[in-house]
Structures are given as C-alpha cells and as structure tokens.
Amino acid sequence: MTTLNRPGAPDGHVCGIDAAMEVIGGKWKVLILWALDEHPPRRFGELRRLLPGVTEKVLASHLRELEADGIVRRVSYEEVPPRVEYSLTDDGIRLNAALVPLAAWGSERAGAERTGAEPTGAEPTGAREHTGHMRTAADQPVTPVPPTAARGRA
C-alpha cells in the first residue's frame, strides 16, 4: 500500500527525501531491504528470523507495501506446501545502494557513541553552510531561557 502524498507540490512531495521516505518509512522497511540484500531470495519465515522483534502482521504488511511500491518482488511457486520467496527488484537494489551512505553514517555514529568520541568528519554546530531548502533545528538561533521561565513551562 502506497501512502498518500502530502500537499505542497504538484506531485505531493516537498523534495526527493520526502518521496523516498514515503517508500521506506516505517520501523522495519529498511531492515527488510537489508535482509533481502544480504540474503536473497528469502521466504517469509526466514525474513522473520533475520528480523527479531518484527511481528508476522507487520512483516506481511511491510512486504505488501514494498511490493506495491515496486521495491520487492514476490514469487509464489505452485507447490505443496506452498512456497513464496521475496527478493529485491532493480528499484529495490538501487534504493539499497542509496542507503549505503546512511548505513555508514549510522555505524560511525553508533561507534562514536560507544567510545564517547566525536564521529569522524563531524563539524562544529553551525560550521556547515546550508545550500538546500531544507532547514534543521541546528539552523535556528538558540535563545537561552532563564531558569525561572523554564520552570513555569511544564
């Protein structure tokens, strides 16, 4: 099931990240993509074992959504007992390749958090000039709140 687009642009997407997040949004979808890339093709039960914590209902739902979005291929074999295998489509392989830098960033960040060091290549807050139209909380000036004012907000 493809999620509904948001208003704001002719195609309903604010930017490319928005369009991508529409496809990979959800706690388990990126991990499903990883599992299918690392261990193709996979049956439902094998995927479930590779993703501890995912429920059958959520896994089935995410697989249907990824199939509808053209990211996952589902092949059903006419056998007894029935056998169904999942693998990545060409678009799924391209999407996984696009996620590799994100995975590297996450691994680097997790390693730095474990050691208490700053991630490699980290820039001090405010050091990067933003050229795109996306703004983050780091772009906003910080106004200190007096301790007495902060206590009144709760």
**Whole-prediction pTM value?**
0.66
Is 77 a domain residue? yes
Is 80 a domain residue? yes
CA distance 133 to 141: 17
Is 143 a domain residue? no
Contact between 113 and 54 (Cβ < 8 Å): no
What CATH number does residue 87 fall under? 1.10.10.10
Domain total of the chain: 1
Is 68 a domain residue? yes
Pair of tokens at residue 116 = 């208490």
Average pLDDT over residues 127-143: 42
Is 9 a domain residue? no
DSSP letters for 85-97:
EEEE-HHHHHHHH
Residue range 7-36, pLDDT digits in tens = 555 566 677 788 888 888 888 999 999 999
- Can you name the residues that pair with 43 across neighbouring β-strands? 85
Domain around 58 = 16-104
Is 60 a domain residue? yes
